[in-house]
Structure formats: C-alpha cells, structure tokens
C-alpha cells in the first residue's frame, strides 16, 4: 500500500514500542517519516534500554516509504524547532504529527499514594508526558497548518471512557494518560480553522520490547506468558496501532474522528485491519468485559 505516498510525518517518540510501530506502518503506506527519540547508538536515554532510533530507521529498509532517525529531546524547544525547520527546508510541508513521547515508566511507583511517591520522579514523569507534547505542537503546528488536511495523533494509554471511570495506578500516571486525550480536544479546537484533524489514540495491551522482556518472552514465543498472565492473550503488536493510524492518515474523511478518543481495536474495526498474525484484538472492550470483572481469560469474540 502506498496510500501515503508523498506525505511527510513526524513521529515524536519512535525509539520503541507504539512509536516504532506507528513509524514503520506510516512508512509501509509510503510516507516519509521522521522518527525522533533520545536513545541513539552508544548514547541511551535515562530510560536505560537498548533500542535506538537508528534501529527504527533500519527496520523500515525495503518499505515503500522511508524512516529518518532524528535525535531530539522534546523537552528542549530549540531542538524541536531545529527539526521542524529542517523538515520545512527539505519538504515544505508536514502532513502527520504523532505525539507518542513518554519514557516515564522507570519513574513510576505503582499503587503508591502521592505523599509516598517520589515528588521528583512524579513531576519528571509529567514533564515527559505532557510538556513534551506541548513543546512539539508549538513548533510543528505552523508547518502542519500550511496545507489543509493535516492530522495530529495524541497517543495515550486508555480510552477517554475508561480513564474517566478508573484510577490508573498513580496520580502521576493517571494525569499522564488523561492529558493527551484533553490535548487532542484542544488541538481539534485550535486547528479546526486550518482544516486539520486531532485524535487521541490508545493501543491495547502492547507487546512492546519492554513488556516482552518483563515476561521473559519474545514476539515468536509471547503466548508462553499467558501461562502466568492469562489475560495477556488479548495483547497486540506495536504494528497494530500503527496500521490504524496509517489508515486514519489516508482516510479523506478523517475529520469525522476529530476531537475523539479511539483505540487500535476500534480503528481496526472501522478500517478492516488485522494485526501481524491476522487477528483483530479489541483489548479495551475485553478489559472492561472480561479482565476487570475477574472472569477467566477467554478472547473468544474479542480477537
């Protein structure tokens, strides 16, 4: 598929996980994708993992589009501004912005009340999860709005409905994942006069590199983790949410999603998409219907 041939995308936070999957699927649809992150070859970020943005770019070799690795700290406005100026000089346009920056997992103290959680770590998490998205939007939007039809995707964890009804493990994590949904609504308001669309998108239970490592499995052996964590059966690859966002970007009627919160499962249903194994997991419906009520793991009807 080359539905995005000639389009230019920026995936902010594409070193690993959902960001990497999104960058690769946009390139698979023909786009030129700038993949940013702080972890480069020989210089890891504070996250402390081995993945790099160069690896993300290398995985795109052979795809119809291209992934270009760009080392950027999105808490540094000058670095983001320099990248946007470079994209402008090279292409004169930006069609898709995906705000997927987080990197706060190592700072999170699960199920810890605010008076016991490290204040320094908590506030750093909020900076990584919220400030980075605003800094990026401020520099990228002037280029994105140059032509009508631009798309902004705020990536989060959880749908608007789920996050409104459930406490997400820590006040800092909770705010980190609610904020992108509100940002998408704000962007929808600010960008509407320019013909752009803003959407909040959540993957389901993501088989990211970190999650696979946590369970001691690999992508080919991921189902072994279901022996100890049965509900992991509903999990999905990072490419699944990427396929949904690529389809959204290629949809001439994407404005119907404006200001909405959606999920990889809902996008897959709307656009007739499947994950790499041919299944169509609907994780957030499963979590509400099966996992949270404490029912036995059974993905029948959910993938």
The tens-digit pLDDT sequence of the chain (303 residues) is 569 999 999 999 999 999 999 999 999 999 999 999 998 888 888 888 889 999 999 999 999 999 999 999 999 999 999 999 999 999 999 999 999 999 999 999 989 999 999 999 999 999 999 999 999 999 999 999 999 999 999 999 999 999 999 999 899 999 999 999 999 999 999 999 999 999 999 999 999 999 999 999 999 999 999 999 999 999 999 999 999 999 999 999 999 999 999 999 999 999 999 999 999 999 999 999 999 999 999 999 999
The pLDDT tens digits for 254-281 are: 999 999 999 999 999 999 999 999 999 9
And the tokens for 270?
A: 């709307």
> Rounded to an integer, what distance in angstroms lies between the CA atom of residue 249 and that of residue 285?
24
pLDDT, residue 2, reads: 62
Q: CATH says 8-209+238-284 is which class?
A: alpha beta
For the entire predicted model, the pTM comes to 0.97
Q: How crowded is residue 123: how many other Cβ atoms within 10 Å of its Cβ?
A: 12
Residue 201 tokens read as 């998108």
**Predicted local confidence at residue 1, as pLDDT:** 57
197's CB contacts (< 8 A; 6+ apart) are 150, 151, 152, 188, 191, 254, 255, 257, 258
pLDDT tens digit sequence for 71-114: 999 999 999 999 999 999 999 999 999 999 999 999 999 899 99
pLDDT at 43: 84
Provide CB contacts within 8 A for 157, sequence distance 6+: 168, 177, 202, 203
Q: Which 3-state string (H, E, C) describes the chain?
A: CCCCCCCEEEEECCCCHHHHHHHHHHHHCCCEEEEEECCECCECCCCCCCCCHHHHHHHCCCCCCEEEEEECCCCCHHHHHHHHHHHHHHHCCCCEEEECCCCCHHHCCCCCCCCCCCHHHHHHHHHHHHHHHHHHHHHHHHHHCCCCCCEEEEECCCCHHHHHHCCCCCHHHHHHHHHHHHHHHHHHHHHHHHCCEEEEEECCCECCHHHHHHHCCCCCCHHHHHHCCHHHHHCECHHHHHHHHHHHHHCCCHHHHCCCEEEHHHHHHHHCCCCCCCCCCCHHHHHHHHHCCCCCCCCCCCC
Sequence ranges of the domains in the chain:
8-209+238-284
The structure tokens listed for 75 are 């808490």
Q: Could you tell me if 277 and 262 are in contact, meaning their C-beta atoms sit under 8 angstroms apart?
A: no
The predicted structure's pLDDT at residue 290: 98
């Amino acid at each position: 598929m080359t539905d995005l041939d000639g389009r230019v995308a920026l995936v902010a936070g594409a070193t690993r996980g959902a960001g990497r999957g999104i960058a690769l699927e946009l390139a698979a649809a023909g786009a030129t994708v700038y993949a940013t992150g702080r972890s480069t070859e020989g210089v890891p970020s504070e996250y402390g993992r081995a993945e790099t943005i160069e690896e993300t770019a290398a995985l795109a070799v052979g795809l119809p589009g291209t992934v270009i690795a760009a080392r950027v700290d999105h808490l540094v406005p000058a670095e983001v501004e320099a990248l946007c100026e470079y994209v402008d000089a090279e292409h004169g346009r930006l069609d898709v912005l995906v705000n997927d920056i987080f990197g706060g997992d190592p700072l999170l103290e699960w199920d810890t009340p605010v008076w016991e959680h490290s204040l320094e770590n908590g506030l750093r998490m909020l900076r990584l999860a919220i400030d980075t998205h605003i800094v990026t939007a401020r520099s990228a939007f002037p280029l994105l709005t140059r032509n009508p039809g631009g798309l902004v995707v705020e990536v989060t964890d959880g749908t608007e409905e789920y996050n409104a009804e459930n406490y997400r493990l820590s006040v800092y994590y909770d705010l980190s994942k609610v904020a992108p949904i509100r940002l998408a609504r704000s962007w929808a308001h600010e960008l509407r006069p320019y013909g752009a669309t803003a959407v909040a998108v959540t993957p389901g239970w993501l088989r990211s590199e970190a999650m696979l490592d946590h369970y001691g499995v690999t992508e080919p052996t991921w189902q072994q983790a279901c022996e100890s964590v049965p509900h992991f059966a509903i999990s999905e690859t990072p490419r699944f949410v990427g396929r949904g966002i690529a389809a959204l970007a290629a949809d001439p009627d994407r404005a119907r999603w404006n200001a909405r919160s959606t999920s990889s499962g809902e996008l897959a249903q709307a656009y007739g998409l499947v994950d790499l194994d041919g299944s169509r997991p609907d994780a957030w419906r499963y979590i509400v219907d099966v996992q949270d009520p404490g029912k036995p793991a059974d993905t029948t009807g959910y993938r």
